[in-house]
Chains A and B, each alone.
Chain A
Amino acid sequence: SAVISQKPSRDICQRGTSLTIQCQVDSQVTMMFWYRQQPGQSLTLIATANQGSEATYESGFVIDKFPISRPNLTFSTLTVSNMSPEDSSIYLCSVATFTSGPGYEQYFGPGTRLTVT
């Protein structure tokens, strides 16, 4: 398994500002993802964080709004830029690790609860 930590765990921010969320994994992983979970909703995939190259964004998400860095195999950041109240959500970091068996296992961090006022 992989142990994932996120910073900050929660924050309250003013509209128009930006927040950078950090994700640290205790082992090297091939794949890292960022998700958003709005209140009462399921998880929505924002992007796949690629090590050494630009992230791959899902439809509806753009780099200018959610810039992502992944400088190595254990760390990634997600920035929520120019925030509005609609960005209030839980942001989750996730990693996928290959196992000795087929397929892979995906693990999630505890999430960052963001409130924009």
Chain B
Amino acid sequence: DAKTTQPPSMDCAEGRAANLPCNHSTISGNEYVYWYRQIHSQGPQYIIHGLKNNETNEMASLIITEDRKSSTLILPHATLRDTAVYYCILGNNDMRFGAGTRLTVKP
């Protein structure tokens, strides 16, 4: 079973920041937090991952709370092409997916 919980859906206005939350209260010390997204009919796409420090790459930022029990994926300037299902999963040689959050970016 997935060890993360995410809201089933969210909306975001185009050009605004999209903040996607994820709870992982049972995370263990050696588990990374990974984020993926899946655009309709495509394979999931890796976005970012982190252990305990905040991370940023060209796609997004990942903010992990100090107790590591939750995290937030931030898409700084959402576009219509960011509409997808976003998955937050815990990985340490074991990648089980939960239901994810369906993000809809609206004009």
Q: Is the C-beta of A108 less than 8 angstroms from some C-beta in chain B?
A: yes
Tell me if B's interface is mostly helix, strand, loop or mixed.
Answer: loop
Indicate if the CB atoms of A103 and B97 lie closer than 8 Å.
no
- Minimum CB–CB distance from B19 to chain A (whole Å) comes to 21
- Tally A residues with Cβ within 8 Å of B: 22
Indicate if the CB atoms of B100 and A42 lie closer than 8 Å.
yes
Q: How many A-B residue pairs have CB under 8 A?
A: 51
Indicate if the CB atoms of A110 and B95 lie closer than 8 Å.
no
Tell me if A's interface is mostly helix, strand, loop or mixed.
Answer: strand
CB interface residues, B 13-66, toward A, < 8 Å:
32, 34, 36, 42-46, 49-51
Indicate if the CB atoms of B51 and A43 lie closer than 8 Å.
no
Q: Given A92-B43, A102-B51, A110-B42, answer yes or no on A44-B32 (Cβ-Cβ < 8 Å).
A: no
Indicate if the CB atoms of B45 and A108 lie closer than 8 Å.
yes
Residue among B2, B85, B95, B96 facing the most chain A CB atoms (10 A cut-off) = B95
- Minimum CB–CB distance from B42 to chain A (whole Å) comes to 7
Q: Is the C-beta of A33 less than 8 angstroms from some C-beta in chain B?
A: yes
A103, B42: Cα distance in complex, Å: 24
From A42, A44, A103, A111, contact of B43 by CB (8 A): A111
Q: Given A42-B87, A42-B100, A110-B42, answer yes or no on A103-B32 (Cβ-Cβ < 8 Å).
A: yes
B contact residues vs A (CB 8 Å cutoff): 2, 32, 34, 36, 42-46, 49-51, 85, 87, 91, 93, 95-100
Report 9 cross-chain contacts, Cβ distance below 8 Å, ordered by A residue: A4-B43, A42-B97, A42-B99, A42-B100, A44-B97, A94-B43, A105-B49, A106-B46, A106-B91
